[in-house]
Amino acid sequence: MKGFRGWMMVLAVALLAAGCDGPAEEGEGSVGGEAPVLDDEGEEGSKARAEEELPVAPTPQVEGPAGELAARVFEAHGGQRWPQVEELGFRFVVKEQDEETFAATHDWKVWEGVDRVRWTDEEGVEWDVTVNLDDATAEEASRDGDPIEGEALEIAGKGAYTRWVNDVYWLLMPLKVFDPGVSLGHEGELEREGETLEVLELSFEGVGLTPGDRYLVQVEPESGEVRAWEMHLQGDRPPQLVFWDDYQELGPLRLSVTRNFEGSERQIIFDELRVK
């Protein structure tokens, strides 16, 4: 998965296309002492027009069935509207038999390229790290509430960046199908529970933390929504089918917030979601 710089390139293209220079500074775009004037459209019309003028990113064009399916996935989950997301907060939660076994909290300032990540590791150590996503360095961090610096700060930054890469990909994979280094393939159709699904293959050309991974993404062809993915992770681990459930509207995005693992009671849940 690519780093934050690629996301900002998409944002920059969208802002330029919309004729914007980015978020306004405080006080910008207003005239002191003058009340806003509504035009003949009224308040609702003005609101609708403002929504239409929000920045959007063009859907990348990749020829062939795989590119067409990827475009439907990208658009169905809000990929074109990703430049509108200034901040994204969520918890990445792992559950076993309805018991929470791990959680990481993210307060991601998307436009700034910074994420504050809080989690407890396997040894019970509590980490609180603010990481710069351009270079995976920690701006500040604490361990069990105590500030750290030097080599410990460097290690904390890498740990937080790894958490961001993993957790964001689980949540936002549909928005990242056109990332640099991603290879797309169309693996035909399959039938499951009376539904015909198309299969989009995602593989990686030397990018991300685990470039040997491969995903077979099962897509409802009309809506473009992901129903499941079959994970083929690098190493000797067997494939694992994970269902994508519980779709929600989250600001300009539409995302699944529950992952159910086939043949087990394991789940990944996204909660405390906040989109600015």
- DSSP per position, the chain: ---HHHHHHHHHHHHHHTT--SSPPTTTT--TTPPP---TTHHHHHHHHHHHTS---PPP---SHHHHHHHHHHHHTTGGGGGG-SEEEEEEEEEETTEEEEEEEEEEETTTTEEEEEEE-TT--EEEEEEETTTTEEEEEEETTEE--THHHHHHHHHHHHHHHHHHHHHHGGGGTT-TTEEEEEEEEEEETTEEEEEEEEEESS-SS-TT-EEEEEE-TTT--EEEEEEE-SSSPPPEEEEEEEEEEETTEEEEEEEEETTSSEEEEEEEEEE-
> Rounded to the nearest 10 degrees, how much is the dihedral formed by the CA atoms of 220, 226, 230, 235?
150
> How many CB atoms neighbour CB 38 within 10 A?
11
Indicate if the pLDDT at residue 2 is higher than 90.
Answer: no
| Residue 153 predicted with pLDDT over 90 | yes
In the predicted model, what is the mean pLDDT of residues 194-216? 88
pLDDT tens sequence across 176-195: 999 999 999 999 999 988 89
- 51 pLDDT band (50/70/90 cuts)? low
Is residue 23 over pLDDT 70? Answer: no
pLDDT digits (tens, 9 = 90+) for 110-149: 999 999 999 999 999 999 999 999 999 999 999 999 999 9
Residue 75 above 50 pLDDT?
Answer: yes
pLDDT at 42: 56
Q: At 211, is the pLDDT very low, low, confident or very high (cuts 50, 70, 90)?
A: confident
Model confidence at 210: pLDDT above 90: no
For residue 167, what pLDDT is reported?
98
- Of 96, 84, 99, the C-alpha closest to 10 is 84
pLDDT for res 9: 43
Residue 265 has pLDDT above 60, yes or no: yes
Domain 81-275 in CATH 2.50.20? The answer is yes
- The pLDDT value given to residue 44: 57
